[in-house]
Amino acid sequence: MRSRGSLEDARDDAALDRVVWSALTGPQAGLAEVHGRAARFHPDVSPFSAIADERDPGAWQDLAALIGPGADALFGGAPVTPPPGWQTVLTLPGIQLVGAGVAGQPDPEALVLGAADLPEVLDLVERTRPGPFRPRTIELGTYLGIRREGALIAMAGERLRIPAHTEISAVCTDPAFRGQGLAARLIRAVAAGTQARGDRPFLHTTAGNASAIRLYEHLGFAVRRPVAFAVYRSPQT
């Protein structure tokens, strides 16, 4: 077992502290658009953006050039203060949890979702609101779903990938089928896939989502740190 304070743990912590930047400049760089010290996912993939250093005005200028005037950028991580000219549109407190104690387990009923399933995926997301999900979000990783009588009723998948870690996201269940443990089964199934690659699962949720936090902790996730989801609008000119 690794001891805390090791060089490897320090690298893990650094990547988790700057998870969006770590994904955009690391394992998911192929889905990124980059300008100087700023990067974002293609808008059809994800609304997340990041910059190399939130204290660097030049990085914010690069981001403004990347997204265009009067455009929104979603950040996820430590709260930041944008420079003059930028508008803070929304700030939502959240938490980051890491699944060192999660026992991944494949599920015989879980099916891999692909392009043919996208209309149903988007419909389920629209009805359950698990978080940002775009037409190409499914390209970020493996998404698993459970069907009943042919209809997609629950899903979960992989979103941000950073060195040694994969985020579980889009955990949602049709309201008519809640209370059957489907979310827990899918989280374990997605976690099994990440662990088979040697990655540790992690996830994010809003700070006020007490029921989700209880479920995640029951499954073996532990709260690592508070985060903030914030939308910043670039200067109009």
> Could you report the per-residue pLDDT of 14-32, keeping only the tens digit for each?
899 999 999 999 999 999 9
What does each C-alpha distance from 111 to 55, 56, 141, 143 come to in angstroms?
44, 44, 14, 8
CA neighbours closer than 13 Å in the CB half-sphere of residue 173: 15
62, two tokens? 């690069």
In degrees and rounded to multiples of 5, residue 93 shows phi and psi of: -65, 140
Query: Domain spans of the chain?
Result: 7-93+228-233, 97-225
How large is the average pLDDT for residues 209-221?
96
Q: How would residue 67 be classed by pLDDT, with cut points 50, 70 and 90? A: very high
Q: Which CATH architecture has domain 97-225?
A: 3-Layer(aba) Sandwich (3.40)
SS (H, E, C) 17-81: HCHHHHHHCCCCHHHEEEECCEEEECCCCCCEEEECCCCCHHHHHHHHHHHCCCCEEEEEECCCC
Topology alike, domains 7-93+228-233 and 97-225: yes
Q: Give the list of residues 6+ apart from residue 30 with CB closer than 8 angstroms, or none.
A: none
**Contact 66/73 with Cβ under 8 angstroms?**
no
pLDDT tens figures, 124-164:
999 999 999 999 999 999 999 999 999 999 999 999 999 99
Residue 7 has pLDDT above 90, yes or no: no
**How much is the mean pLDDT over the chain?**
95
pLDDT at 30: 97
Does CATH place domain 7-93+228-233 in 3.40.630.30? Answer: yes
Per-residue pLDDT of 158-186, as tens digits, reads 999 999 999 999 999 999 999 999 999 99
Which pLDDT belongs to residue 3? Answer: 47
**Mean pLDDT, residues 55-61 taken together:** 97
* pLDDT of the residue at 4: 52
